[in-house]
Amino acid sequence: AQSVTQLDSHVSVSEGTPVLLRCNYSSSYSPSLFWYVQHPNKGLQLLLKYTSAATLVKGINGFEAEFKKSETSFHLTKPSAHMSDAAEYFCVVSKAAGNKLTFGGGTRVLVKP
């Protein structure tokens, strides 16, 4: 069994400041982990994925995430927020080499000018 907990349902940041979105997971298996972003009325877009290679994963648009097995965490960060980063972000876990994705509840990011 696997589950994902996103610790913040809403995050508000000022443009140009760092963004931190927190995610903890639970998995009976060696997991694959993902972050997806969903803009209004748009499809889910993959930001980055961890599949048991390097623990620090770099993604698109300046995002990165670090896999910490001891803490069962996969937090997403970006050094400087842009207005276009306002969206809903989902942390996702899957069994490595598996198929079914388990999504967290989402974190809505608001970027203030």
Binding site for other proteins (CB under 8 A): 4, 32, 36, 41-46, 49, 51, 90, 94-106
CB of 33 to other proteins, least distance (A): 9
Under DSSP, the state recorded for 30 is P
| Among the listed residues 81, 66, 71, 74, the one whose alpha carbon sits nearest the alpha carbon of residue 102 | 74
CB of 100 to other proteins, least distance (A): 5
Q: Map residue 60 onto helix, strand or coil.
A: helix
Question: Which one, 70 or 100, has the nearer CB to other proteins?
Answer: 100
Is 75 within 8 Å of 55 (Cβ atoms)?
A: no
Is 7 within 8 Å of 89 (Cβ atoms)?
A: no
Question: Which one, 7 or 15, has the nearer CB to other proteins?
Answer: 7
CB of 97 to other proteins, least distance (A): 4
Question: Which one, 42 or 113, has the nearer CB to other proteins?
Answer: 42
